[in-house]
A and B are shown apart, each in its own frame.
Chain A
Amino acid sequence: MAQLPFKAARDGAIAALIAGLLALPLVGFRLVDQSGGEGLANRWPQLVAMIILVFVGRLALSLISGGAVRSVLFFMAAFAIGSLIIPWPSQFLEVVAVGGAALIAMRAAFLLLGSRPFGSMSGAVGLAGRYAPWAMIAFAALLPLLPFANRGVLDTGVMILTYVLLGWGLNIVTGLAGLLDLGYAAFFAIGAYTAAILGSTYGFSFWACLPLAAAFASAAGLLLGFPVLRLRGDYFAIVTLGFGEIIRIVANNWRSLTNGSQGIAGAPRPSFFGIADFTASPAPGHTAFNALFGIPYNPIHRIIFLYYLVLGAALLVNGFTLRIRRLPIGRAWEALREDEIAAQALGIDRRRVKLTAFAIGAAWGGVGGAFFAARQGFVSPESFGFMESVAVTAIVVLGGMGSQLGVVFAAVLYVGLSELFRPLEEYRMLVFGIAMIAIMRFRPRGLISTRRPTATLL
Chain B
Amino acid sequence: MAYFVQQLINGLTLGSIYGLIAIGYTMVYGIIGMINFAHGEIYMIGAFVGLITILALMSAGIASVPILLILAILVAMVIAGLYGWTIERLIYRPLRGAPRLAPLISAIGLSIFLQQYVQLTQGGRVKTLPPLISGGFTLMRGDDGFTVGISNFQIVVFLLTLALMAGLTLIINRTELGRAQRAAAADPLMAALCGVDVDRTISVTFIIGAALAAVAGVMVVLYYGVIDFFIGFLAGLKAFTAAVLGGVGSLPGALLGGLVLGLVESFWSAYADAAYKDVAAYAILVLVLIFRPSGLMGRPEVEKV
Q: Name A's B-contacting residues (CB within 8 A).
A: 18, 21-22, 24-27, 29-31, 33, 37-40, 92, 178, 180, 182, 227-228, 231, 233-235, 237-239, 241-243, 245-246, 249-250, 252-253, 341, 386-387, 390, 393-394, 397, 426-427, 429-430, 432-437, 440-441, 444-445
Contacts and interface: CB of A to CB of B under 8 A. Distances in A.
Contact of B116 (A228, A238, A386, A429): A429
Nearest to B305: A341
A252 B35 CA distance: 28
A430 B104 contact: no
Interface in B71-127: 75, 79, 82-83, 86, 91, 94-95, 98-106, 108-118, 120-123, 125, 127
A235 B241 CA distance: 11
Contact of A433 (B101, B111, B289): B111
A393 B127 CA distance: 32
A22 B55 contact: no
Contacts of A39: 55, 59
A249 B273 CA distance: 12
6 closest cross-chain pairs (CB), A and B: A436-B109, A433-B113, A433-B112, A242-B282, A430-B116, A440-B106
B285 A441 contact: no
The residue among B34, B122, B305 with the most chain A CB atoms within 10 A of its own CB is B122
A26 B112 contact: no
Given A234-B34, A238-B285, A26 B117 contact: yes
Given A31-B123, A233-B101, A37 B82 contact: no
Interface of B: 34-35, 45, 48-49, 51-53, 55-56, 59, 75, 79, 82-83, 86, 91, 94-95, 98-106, 108-118, 120-123, 125, 127-130, 233, 237, 240, 244, 273, 275-276, 278-279, 282-283, 285-286, 289-290, 293, 303, 305
A24 B289 CA distance: 40
The residue among A238, A239, A390 with the most chain B CB atoms within 10 A of its own CB is A238
The residue among A253, A341, A440 with the most chain B CB atoms within 10 A of its own CB is A440
B218 to A, nearest CB: 12
A18 B84 CA distance: 12
Given A24-B79, A180-B101, A249-B275, 19 more contacts: A21-B79, A30-B122, A31-B48, A38-B127, A40-B52, A40-B59, A178-B101, A231-B289, A233-B101, A237-B35, A237-B104, A238-B285, A242-B285, A243-B282, A249-B279, A429-B116, A433-B113, A434-B113, A440-B105
Nearest to A23: B121
Contacts of B240: 238
25 contacts: A26-B118, A29-B52, A31-B51, A31-B52, A31-B55, A37-B129, A37-B130, A38-B127, A38-B129, A180-B105, A227-B286, A234-B101, A234-B104, A235-B244, A238-B285, A239-B289, A243-B286, A246-B279, A252-B275, A390-B112, A429-B115, A430-B120, A433-B110, A433-B112, A437-B110
Nearest to B284: A242
Given A29-B56, A31-B122, A250-B279, A433 B116 contact: yes
A398 B34 CA distance: 20
A444 B99 contact: yes
Contact of A444 (B102, B111, B289): B102
Contact of A440 (B86, B102, B127, B303): B102
A249 B283 CA distance: 13
A25 B237 contact: no
A58 to B, nearest CB: 11
B126 to A, nearest CB: 10
Nearest to B76: A25
A177 to B, nearest CB: 12
A22 B86 contact: yes
Contact of A430 (B113, B278, B293): B113
A384 to B, nearest CB: 15
Contacts of B128: 37-38
A440 B95 contact: yes
Contacts of B112: 387, 390, 429-430, 432-433, 436
Contacts of B100: 233-234
The residue among A26, A393, A426, A432 with the most chain B CB atoms within 10 A of its own CB is A26
B298 to A, nearest CB: 13
Contacts of A242: 237, 282, 285-286
A182 B240 CA distance: 15
B98 A444 contact: yes
Contacts of A27: 121
Contact of B79 (A25, A241, A393): A25
Contacts of A393: 105
Contacts of B51: 31, 38
A104 B93 CA distance: 22
Contacts of A237: 35, 101, 104
Given A237-B101, A437-B106, A25 B53 contact: yes
Contacts of B293: 231, 235
Contacts of B127: 31, 38
Contacts of A180: 101, 104-105
Given A18-B86, A37-B129, A433-B110, A228 B290 contact: yes
A239 B82 CA distance: 30
The residue among B101, B106, B276, B283 with the most chain A CB atoms within 10 A of its own CB is B101
Contacts of A394: 105, 109
Nearest to B291: A227
Contacts of A435: 109
B109 A433 contact: yes
A453 B229 CA distance: 45
A122 to B, nearest CB: 17
Contacts of B283: 246
Contacts of B94: 441
B207 to A, nearest CB: 13
The residue among B111, B233, B282 with the most chain A CB atoms within 10 A of its own CB is B282
Nearest to B48: A26
B210 to A, nearest CB: 12
